[in-house]
Structure formats: structure tokens, C-alpha cells
Amino acid sequence: MSDLDATTPRVFLARHGETEWTKNGRFTGKTDLSLTANGATQVAGTAAQLVGPGRLIDPVRLARVIVSPRHRARQTFQLLFGEENANNHGHAVDEAKVTFTESIAEWDYGDYEGLVVSEIRACRKEKGLDGERAWDIWRDGCEGGESAEQVADRLDALVSEIRAIQQPYMNGEQPVDVVLVAHGHILRAFVKRWLRYPLEAQLPMMLSPGGIGVLSYRNHDVNEPAFFIGMSLPPQQ
């Protein structure tokens, strides 16, 4: 498979743009923040370059767009696929293909909502936790929120749903790309479960606010999930 022919189905991971809490590293789960002006600019730049007819994410090739219901994700969806993106004029995604769902909402941080990592570790130390090793969300989850096991379970259900959509068309019989519009932690967790890694597995990843990641399958085989570490892009039209 060449990167450009895009015959094997793909899953695009779209992280929302910057918020006020993104800037200082505060854990933002259910708190319904808006994008900053810079965050909107980040997403608009991505949309202009990568979303639209003939671009990397082409609306006519999409089977589903799955969006977190949080406001910052909804704003990002609109900047990518709405009239805000001039590339989309006359090429909007069919509303029937768009789903807003908690299945791709950010990790529920529970008691750690609004805190930074150092504050979380200090709080846990006061409780006598983590005596031998530092807190790690991928292993320890969040007090009052979701455990790693709970996150893995809901993402596994979503992975299965996406594979059921794409499996009949692994050789390009029809375009069935999927886009997830969501958040930093949950999208990185999704990558691990897509690759069938446990969440506690060491797989350092970065996904910038407003950025796009790409998953697919090796050898046109639904049983060989993979991720792109680099790919060629369609020429600009």
C-alpha cells in the first residue's frame, strides 16, 4: 500500500485545540472549557492544510466522525468540518455520519480534575499512597474517576465498532475512513488499545493541540492494526 492511494481504511485522531488549562498542564476532563483564540487558530491551520476535497481527510471518504461531547471538541469539529473551513463549502460531512458520544470523552479524572501532575502526586503522598513508585495514570487511574481498566473497556468497545465498519472494505471496495475528535489522554489511550497494548505499556506519545494522528492496518488486514510514523500527503488542489 502506498500512503497516497489510501485504499486501506484509516482512523484519524484529531485533538482539540488549546484551552486555558492546556497551557498550564491542568487535567481537563468534564470541565467544559472553550478553545482559546490560539486554540481556534491551531485547528483552523490544520483544517486548511489537511481537511477537504483531495486532502488527507476528505469528507467524501468518511464513514463516521466520532466526537467527544465536550465543548472544546465540538468547537474543533466545527472548525475542521463546518463552514468555518473554506475547503468544505459544498462538501460538508453528512450529519448522519456524525456521532457525539461519551465513548471518546476525555478520561474521567475524578478528584484530580483541574490539578497538575505535581499536585496529584503531592495529594497522593499525603494519603500514604505510592510509597515505592510515583503515580502513573496509565497504571493507577484516578481516585473518584476512571481506572485504567475502565478506560480500556470503553475504548475496546469503540475499537470493535470501528473495525466492524472497516473490515468488509480492507482493499478499498468503498471508502470507510473514520475520524475521532477528542482529547489528549483519551486519544493516546486509544492508540494503545488499537495496537492491543495494555494502557500501562510504555509507549511515549505526543499529539499537539489541534494536531492529527493516523492509524490504519498493515497488509490490508484487519488483524494487523498499525500506526503511521510518517506518510506522504496528497498534492494541494
pLDDT the model gives residue 231: 80
Q: Is residue 45 part of a domain?
A: yes
Cα-based distances in Å from 161 to 66, 102, 103, 128, 227: 11, 14, 11, 41, 18
Query: Each residue of 83-134: pLDDT tens digit?
Result: 887 787 777 788 999 999 999 999 999 999 999 999 999 999 999 998 889 9
Q: Is residue 220 part of a domain?
A: yes
Band of the pLDDT at 237, cuts 50, 70, 90? Answer: low
236 secondary structure, DSSP code: P
pTM: 0.93
Stronger pLDDT, 130 or 210, i.e. the higher one: 210
Domain CATH for 23: 3.40.50.1240
Radius of gyration of the chain (CA): 18
Query: Each residue of 52-66: pLDDT tens digit?
Result: 998 999 999 999 999
Residue whose C-alpha is closest to residue 68's, from 31, 38, 37, 94 = 31
Mean pLDDT score of the chain: 93
How many structural domains compose the chain? 1
Q: Is residue 120 part of a domain?
A: no
Query: Each residue of 165-192: pLDDT tens digit?
Result: 999 999 999 999 999 999 999 999 999 9
Cell for 100? 457525539
* Residues carrying an active site annotation: 16, 106
Cell for 60? 467524501
pLDDT at 2 over 70: no
CB 187 within 8 A of CB 207: yes
Q: Is residue 200 part of a domain?
A: yes
In the numeric block, the cell 505535581 is attached to 118
Enclosing domain of residue 22: 11-108+146-227
Q: Is residue 153 part of a domain?
A: yes
Q: Is residue 42 part of a domain?
A: yes
Q: Is residue 127 part of a domain?
A: no
Q: Is residue 44 part of a domain?
A: yes
